[in-house]
Chains A and B, each alone.
Chain A
Amino acid sequence: MLDVILAGVTKKYKDQVVVDDISLKIGNGELLALVGHSGCGKTTMLRLIAGLSQPDKGKILIGGQESARLKARKREIVMVFQENLLFPHLNVADNIAFGLKMGGVSKKERVKRAQEMLNLVRLPGLAGRYPSQLSGGQQQRVSLARALALEPKILLLDEPLSNLDPKLRDELRDLILLLHRRFKMTTVLVTHDRDEAMMMADRIAVMYYGSLLQVGKPVDIYCRPVSSEVANLFGQCNYITGFLKGSEFQTEDYRFTVPVLKKGGRVEACVRTEHIKIIRPISDRPSGVVIEKKFSGGYSLLKVSLGGMNLIAKDDNLFDLHVGDRVGLDIDWPQVHFNQV
């Protein structure tokens, strides 16, 4: 297994900078999720690591070796594309054994390996089928099996779950995690789905218009986002600007008591919807009027007008609340992250 180090990597397409001076270390055996909006350069990052594109500036070290100019087929890396790209003229077994065939592995060995891989992705008995005869989920599994057949030291997955329906998505996500734990290959997963990233990754790297905003463990990214862009990508946030001094957080209309922080001065509080609890209106807590309610099964999103601001709270439907009701808000301040502005 190998680690990957990107040092000051920049990639331009024509005049547009797609990857802007990114430095990142992907540890040995780690599962790193690259997250960002579409067009932020995630896929380009994968292509650079895979060797399908060459960086304009910077170095890529794979297992400590300078590899920026190394050809894709000389790297111990396999990339699984978003549109699975199973070769339509080859059956499942030949698709899976394709990489082995290119490497000159004997036919007998290839057949054996293909069957092993099919068992691994839990599709035994489909060896003779053609890709057009498979469902989307099966195609994605075969595509994964084809990559794993080469025993790559580094596996690159470009939105592997994005074309699947929710149930298949959960299944395949668990399968990928299982395979990652078993083979311990360094894995880079590109996704725009925050839940996918949170649940799967050891670390998450957040990209925004070609730049890296934050790299860290899922819990850090979630609880301590460095900017509102990061916070927004990982769940809905209410932003409250105000003045922080000691344990007092003074906004335009309210004064909140918060845990003492090292920070001070003008700050922006990022209050997640689930950190605002709806309570009965009581005198020492701010109260407001419900102006919008979105019911979503296990919870509802309530928009509450509070002085000059509207806060969105995730309510677990304990009370039967309606638009126009007066409610109290209890903000879980220890969970709230402040950014200096």
Chain B
Amino acid sequence: MKSVINSKKIMLIMITLLLFIPISVLLVWSFSRLWPSEALFPNKLGLRGWSYLLSPRSKVFSSLAVSLFISFVVTVLGLILSIPAGKALGQLNFPGKNIIEVLILAPIIIPTITIGMGIHIVFIKWGLADKILGVILVQLPLVLPYGVRIFASVFKALGEKWEEQAKTLKANVWQGFWYVVFPLIRPGIIGASILMFNVSFSQYFLTFLIGGGNVNTLPLLLFPFINGGDRVIASGIGLVFIIISLVFMFLLEKALGKGNDNSIGNFYYL
């Protein structure tokens, strides 16, 4: 028994280290001035990276705002579309269900370049290219597979019995969803939101292609620095990335994970 606990502890420490070593390298990089490749630690520390990033000319804040806006809208739209889609796939049987399941997954199977080029041409015709709306629309099919898959399994596990119970207790469809289904699928909403937000937040290629340089998101800002070899600034932006993702997760848990969650947690998940 004791050895089991010990091995669990060791696993936990190893996973933590695996996650934290890359982050700590970023942290050291962002505060260094000179770090020759043969040195184990930087020769000189400095604030060049951070002072550049925090100054207005770096455009970190404006592109952060654009990124947050796009990812937030994409996540909300993604939820609105994937909850009913997941419910249909998880609980109903209809002809062509398998084909639809594959089609929804397609954006993560087929290389984004293939989809991106075609969509780009259409979006130019429709006047959606080089616009934030176009970027939001093109990111949507990319995040949907995650949301739909999660909600399909959540609704499958949940079954229709809860809604039926709500119905016989005289709830209409919306009341049934709001008071019964929504609280029960909350863990799924948290999981799907985090995934969809992060997929959207770190999207480079499609934003670059459809945004055409007019829509400057954080990944677009980051890329030239990685490419140009300025690791100090790239590390700084990388840290901003991680912090935003963590803050988003934290806020989401705060907003949705409230209440007595262990009662739901131990009841249909796992």
A72 touches B264 (CB 8 A): no
B114 touches A (CB below 8 Å): no
Per-residue CB contact flags for chain B residues 172-204 toward chain A (1 = under 8 Å, else 0) read 100100011001100000000000000000000
Q: A89-B184, A130-B263 are in contact. Are A99 and B169 (CB under 8 A)?
A: yes
Q: In the complex the two chains form, what is the Cα distance from A52 to B170 in whole Å?
A: 12
Give CA–CA (A103, B168) in the complex, Å.
12
Q: How far is the CA of A51 from the CA of B168 in the complex (A)?
A: 8
Produce 1/0 per residue, A48-82, CB < 8 A to B. 00111000000000000000000111000111010
Q: Does A73 lie within 8 Å of B264, measured CB to CB? A: no
The reply on B167 being an interface residue by CB < 8 A is: yes
B2 interface residue (CB < 8 Å to A): no
Contact of A150 with B267 at beta-carbon distance under 8 Å, contacts A83-B161, A132-B262 already known: no
Question: Is B164 engaged at the interface, CB distance under 8 Å to the other chain?
Answer: yes
Q: How far is the CA of A78 from the CA of B170 in the complex (A)?
A: 8
Interface hub of B169, B180, B262 (most chain A Cβ within 10 A): B169
Instruction: State the CA gap A79–B165 with chains docked (Å).
Output: 7
The number of inter-chain residue pairs (CB within 8 angstroms) is 69
Of the residues A79, A87, A130, contact of B168 by C-beta under 8 Å: A79
User: For the complex, what is the distance from the CA of A72 to the CA of B267, rounded to whole Å?
Assistant: 27
Take A88-B184, A98-B179, A131-B263 as given contacts and tell me if A72 and B167 are in contact as well, using a CB distance cutoff of 8 Å: yes
Interface residues of A in 278-313 (CB under 8 A from B): none
Is the pair B180, A87 in contact by a Cβ cutoff of 8 Å? yes
Rounded to whole Å, the gap between the CB of B262 and the closest CB of chain A is: 7
Q: Is the CB of A275 closer than 8 A to any CB of chain B? A: no
Binding site secondary structure of chain B: helix
Q: What residues on A are CB-neighbors of B263 within 8 Å?
A: 88-89, 130-132
| A87 neighbours in B (Cβ, 8 Å) | 162, 179-180, 183-184
Contact A73 B168 (CB under 8 A): yes
B168 and A50 contact, CB distance less than 8 A? yes
Q: Tell me whether A88 and B264 are in contact (CB under 8 A).
A: yes
Contacts of B161 on A, CB cut-off 8 Å? 81, 83, 85
Interface residues on A, range: 20 to 34
Q: Is B171 an interface residue (CB 8 A)?
A: yes
User: Using Cβ atoms and an 8 Å threshold, which residues of chain A touch B264?
Assistant: 88-89
Given that A88-B263, A89-B260, A130-B260 are contacting pairs, would A102 and B169 also be in contact in the complex, using a CB cutoff of 8 Å?
yes
Q: Decide if B127 is an interface residue (CB 8 Å cutoff).
A: no
Task: List, in ascending order, chain A residues with CB within 8 A of B171's CB.
Answer: 73, 98-99, 102
Q: Does B111 contact A (CB under 8 A)?
A: no
Contacts A89-B184, A132-B266 given; does A73 touch B170 at CB 8 Å? yes
Question: Does residue B22 face the partner (Cβ distance < 8 Å to A)?
Answer: no
Report yes or no: B165 in contact with A85, Cβ–Cβ below 8 A: yes
With beta carbons under 8 angstroms apart, the residue of A81, A88, A130, A150 that contacts B170 is A150
- Besides A81-B161, A98-B171, 9 more A-B contacts (Cβ < 8 Å) are A78-B168, A83-B161, A87-B162, A87-B183, A102-B179, A130-B260, A146-B169, A147-B169, A150-B170
A-B pairs with the 5 shortest C-beta distances? A99-B169, A89-B183, A72-B167, A102-B171, A85-B165
Q: Which A residues lie at the B interface, using CB under 8 A?
A: 50-52, 71-73, 77-79, 81, 83, 85, 87-89, 98-99, 101-103, 130-132, 146-147, 150
Question: Would you give 24 A-B contacts (Cβ < 8 Å), ordered by A?
Answer: A50-B168, A51-B168, A52-B164, A72-B164, A73-B172, A78-B168, A78-B169, A85-B161, A87-B162, A87-B179, A88-B184, A88-B267, A89-B260, A89-B264, A98-B166, A98-B169, A98-B179, A102-B175, A103-B170, A130-B263, A132-B262, A132-B266, A132-B267, A150-B169
